[in-house]
Amino acid sequence: MSIFNLYPPITELPFLAFDDTYMEQECLTVIVPDEFVLTGSWKAVITCQMATSISGNVTFEVVTDKFPTIRGQTNALVPGEGKGLGKIEISLPNMEVASGVNYLRFCLARIAHDLADTACGDCKVFKIELQAT
């Protein structure tokens, strides 16, 4: 038996659902460990899947309250084909220093009322990563 049989596919794990009609957001707080220093340019990588839509754009925005000048927004093609998984990347330039016992409050919002968000149906977000660029 493979070890991979012990873990469910990512699509069976809990997810955040973002509606196609109203602006919805989810906020997460991350403690930055002592050995980490966050500076420079970063990006948020969102692993997601559309519930029904196979065409159009989905608009996401990332904001932090630790660094209010950091904002990223993207109008991306819907991820994947049909119900396939896809990734959306949002640039977060000029991150100030965050280290030690600092925290980072990270908010992700689908801006569904934006005219550029043309995808129908919910967008399921399975994973959000912060990556240095």
Query: Which position has the higher pLDDT, 96 or 48?
Result: 48
Residue 103 to residue 58: CA distance in whole angstroms: 29
| Predicted confidence (pLDDT) per residue in 88-122, tens digit | 888 877 666 555 556 777 788 888 888 888 888 88
In a domain, 1, yes or no: no
The answer to which of 40-44, 78-82, 87-91, 103-107 has the lowest mean pLDDT is 78-82
pLDDT at 81 over 60: no
Residue 113 maps to which CATH number?
Answer: 2.60.120.260
In a domain, 73, yes or no: yes
Tell whether pTM > 0.75: yes
Q: Find the domain containing 98 and state its range.
A: 9-132
Quote the number of domains for the chain. Answer: 1
Give the residue among 35, 10, 1, 3 at the shortest CA–CA distance from 86: 10
Number of residues assigned to the chain: 133
Q: Which residue type, as a one-letter code, is found at position 69?
A: T
In a domain, 4, yes or no: no
In a domain, 85, yes or no: yes
pLDDT at 32 over 60: yes
Report the pLDDT value the prediction gives residue 114, as an integer from 0 to 100.
80
In a domain, 65, yes or no: yes
pLDDT at 23 over 60: yes
